[in-house]
Amino acid sequence: MGPPNAELHELINKRLTLNLLIQGAAGHACLTAHHLVHPELEGIRPGLTAWYDKMAVFLNLQYWHPLTRIIFGNPVTFWNSVTRSDHPFHGHALLTRHGARLAAATFEHSRERARARRMWWTPFSSWFWVQIAGVRIIRAEKPHKQQLARLAKRANSIAWGMPERMLDAELTGFTGDPQFGVLSRPQTFRGKLFRAAASAYGGVVRRHGRLVVVAKANMWPLLSHELVKGTAELVCLHGLNRLDRLTYLRVVRAADQTEYEIPMLQAGPDMWRRFLAALPTGKTAAEALMSVARLDPRSLEELMFAVIEEPERARRTMNKL
């Protein structure tokens, strides 16, 4: 017998909040991970880091691209309608109050990075640039897949302090299949389309009695994204491991829907950057994320509100965890 409906609803909201941080950490890593191993990447192929830098910006901006809007809906409309009773995040207090603000800030952050790199972002030009640059990157990576995969693991280990032996990374290139493990079943046509178009996956699997982070992607920026997503997921499992199996499955089934990934990637990166800004001195992101993942749903909600509205109070709270 599972928990009462009200308690289950709180647990689902907690998982949605953790997913916001997980996807936010991954989106942020896509923009930054290559800088952690810049000399090694340049040693493999001069100029590769610059290509990754530009590709990462466009990958983050794609969630506002007109083609994405046509298929998955207008993000402004989506977030402005979050208070409607039929909205998937209706009843999630944090996303109801701040979801639109977080998504707008994520978009503007990526726009600023594009302008700083003198990248002219328009819907028409960016689509063609991504296609051309993607082909060039994947071709440049092809002779160095294993070495680049090792560097992706090293960058992740530097950022999160996770031993590389717990990471499994693979660059699939043009033809490899990035899917692995047991995937959730999309509930809508949009979800099925998103799943079919995905060129990268990351997550946690059990191998030989231990948990391993697995990531597969067709190019390095996406591989680093998926490694961080899997690592953050592993850290956040500490907030769900006390649930009985039935409750865990009900929570994950409700919160981890394919259709939610794009909205989480729209709002999550700004939430993650605010989370990092509120970290107490001497506490790593992994330590802080593990601590907040263990909080009860209401305490987690209160802390996340503080991260946005009262960062100093959030810092004091996290310092006590």
Question: What is the percent of the chain with per-residue pLDDT over 70, rounded to a whole number?
Answer: 89
Kindly tell me if the per-residue pLDDT of 76 is higher than 80: yes
Kindly tell me if the per-residue pLDDT of 196 is higher than 60: no
CA distance 105 to 87: 21
CA distance 161 to 154: 10
- pLDDT confidence tier of residue 166, bands split at 50, 70 and 90: very high
Coil, strand or helix: which one is 46?
coil
- pLDDT confidence tier of residue 160, bands split at 50, 70 and 90: very high
- Would you tell me how many other CB atoms lie within 10 Å of the CB of residue 288? 20
pLDDT value at position 198?
65
Mean pLDDT of the chain: 89
Kindly tell me if the per-residue pLDDT of 295 is higher than 90: yes
Kindly tell me if the per-residue pLDDT of 298 is higher than 80: yes
Judged by average pLDDT, the poorest of 16-30, 181-195, 231-245 is: 181-195
Residues 124, 129, 135, 138: what is their CA dihedral angle, to the nearest 10 degrees?
-130
pLDDT tens figures, 251-277: 999 999 988 999 999 999 999 999 999
pLDDT value at position 177?
63
**286 against 120, higher pLDDT:** 286
Q: 29 near 55, Cβ under 8 Å? A: no
pLDDT value at position 220?
96
pLDDT value at position 93?
97
Q: 66 near 185, Cβ under 8 Å? A: no
Q: What is the DSSP secondary-structure string of 143-157?
A: GGHHHHHHHHHHHHH
Judged by average pLDDT, the poorest of 34-43, 170-179, 180-189, 286-295 is: 180-189
Q: 246 near 14, Cβ under 8 Å? A: no
Q: 312 near 319, Cβ under 8 Å? A: no
Kindly tell me if the per-residue pLDDT of 190 is higher than 70: no
pLDDT value at position 66?
74
Cα Rg of the chain, angstroms: 19
pLDDT tens figures, 216-242: 999 999 999 999 999 999 999 988 878
Q: What is the mean pLDDT of residues 304-310?
A: 98
Q: 98 near 90, Cβ under 8 Å? A: no
pLDDT value at position 318?
95
> How many domains does the structure of the chain reveal?
1
Label the pairing between strands 210-217 and 167-171: parallel
| Boundaries of domain holding 139 | 5-320
Q: 274 near 304, Cβ under 8 Å? A: no
Q: What is the mean pLDDT of residues 110-115?
A: 89
Instruction: Give me the count of residues in the chain.
Output: 321
Coil, strand or helix: which one is 257?
coil
Question: What is the percent of the chain with per-residue pLDDT over 90, rounded to a whole number?
Answer: 68
CA distance 113 to 100: 20
Kindly tell me if the per-residue pLDDT of 1 is higher than 60: no
pLDDT value at position 89?
95
Q: Cα separations (Å) of 222 from 34, 58, 84, 216?
A: 11, 12, 34, 8
Q: What is the mean pLDDT of residues 53-81?
A: 85
CA distance 59 to 310: 31
CA distance 303 to 64: 29
